[in-house]
Structure 1
């Protein structure tokens, strides 16, 4: 059913759906944090650093390839959606197979590809709910998968005397095999389709590649320039802040259908007031986390970096909402230019401040994200002002 409500009338319902999604999301994220503590406690911060670099690689590989499918799932006709969902599944399967072939070759490579492919297959399974604007359903699926992964791998970590990161990671990935079967059944009978013309595909892949290099390239670079412990601290701050900032995308998803039907008209999307309040809320939670860390025996470097990253969390939450509006407006070049253009800026800043460890990386991240937020705000709201004049 088409949602023709005004933003003010629709906001309570959309906020309610977002809160349900957040409940599921942070149930899964909470389990994920327990998994992080288990990895650090039963293995080491260094092993968590390797694990974090594997996840960083998955974020650099998977989301860029998935982005054309993800964006078009929101805004294209059902016929195209069904065909492209099949291609999405097949591409994810290919990445999973590539990861399996590298298990005995390189940990970061196999784990990164396996997670990237598994998530892409999973997204193909979830995509109908995403398209219909039901983040609470997609996050429920994510949480169930996360709980299953952690339960299986955690049983191994605490059930043997000398656990290894390799075996724990293999067990963590095992639920994706079940997802693979479920997704295969969903796409069965639909011929694959290409997600748009080549120019559009390159733009959407490039946009997300820039975003992923922007969000995860710093983890890989910091690991290269410093050590596993330092990158472990920074990876923890990224894990917490990105998890909280995902609330922004969930909130924006509740407006997918009206934004798709209106072509991104701001009157059918979230208000700027709600976007700002959401960002301040998530940033405030990270401030509290940082203060708690500083009041405990946790490393001071970690606590200070977490406090600094609270600003990143607030801005990233707002940017996530604004990005969905730009998707609906088909302003792919704006996002591509911003995300790719800021990669060398951020990585250069991280390299320059690497001597200050996780704190330096956090400062670089906050400064660069402020630029991105300004670009998005000007792109959306200056255009609105121009259209009125």
Structure 2
């Protein structure tokens, strides 16, 4: 028997190489909100498991405890004392009295939960183009700037959800290989504060082509988050650009001191041909100050204040007339959603603000070669 009751435990992790066969395990009166099904690896046949006295989150992750097949291996002691703490609608109810429909992850808005928003099918009508101040403010609030320890911008990015930034993959690799990657932070919009980077995920097809030169940055949880902008598909892009070619790019401009400081929206137009296949190219209106940090800058396509996120600037030098290339986000949308789903399912933040994860099963290079969605296939 192993008695771990009343130890203020908030997480139990079971490694792949653990060789235990417990006949009884007590986890009573701790701070456990959920328990991984991997606990079965260390329990012997007809073993006893005590789980009462914990603040359980009753969602889809708790379904395995009610599985009738579980009783053949593990007997949950005092099952009537396993009470739900969250979500609010299930607060105070007994876990074993709930149905599978009650135990749905959709009923719980986890602070780590995210879903990539793809734009719904729309009919685009050509209208006069203008940019209301409120719309510009909303676009700038979604802009992310990765800065060094002195606050100098390194690369731009876009908030694809409340706690995730999509940026350039090669730059993310440089940050990971730097002497002090923890000194790199993220500035969201025009806010004064900074947010710390918890984890970095680089696209496995980074060397495959510029259209996959992206990375995801998981930020520490923050209550105030900008609204998300939906991502258009390649078909929507084709329809929209056939009748309307105006864009807006949010980017960092050089200030009076010559440093990249001011976050500004810049107007432009879709242009062809592009320097590389499967990229979006656009000509940006020439600024008063010639330098712009375009790498990672989000590009929006739309009209009348209704702008749709289409791409981010790639590290390709501007040619004549300020023509830049952008990575189409529909080409990486599947990978982004895979990472978000896997992280949300297997990671959480503990009381110290540290993210604790089980073993993540992220798409490999071979997986992505088979599953990647090419723009022409949308």
> Which TM-score applies when normalising by structure 1?
0.25
Q: Per residue, is there more strand in 1 or in 2?
A: 2
Higher relative contact order (CA 8 A, sep 6+): 1
Q: Per residue, is there more helix in 1 or in 2?
A: 1
> Which TM-score applies when normalising by structure 2?
0.25
| Greater C-alpha radius of gyration | 2
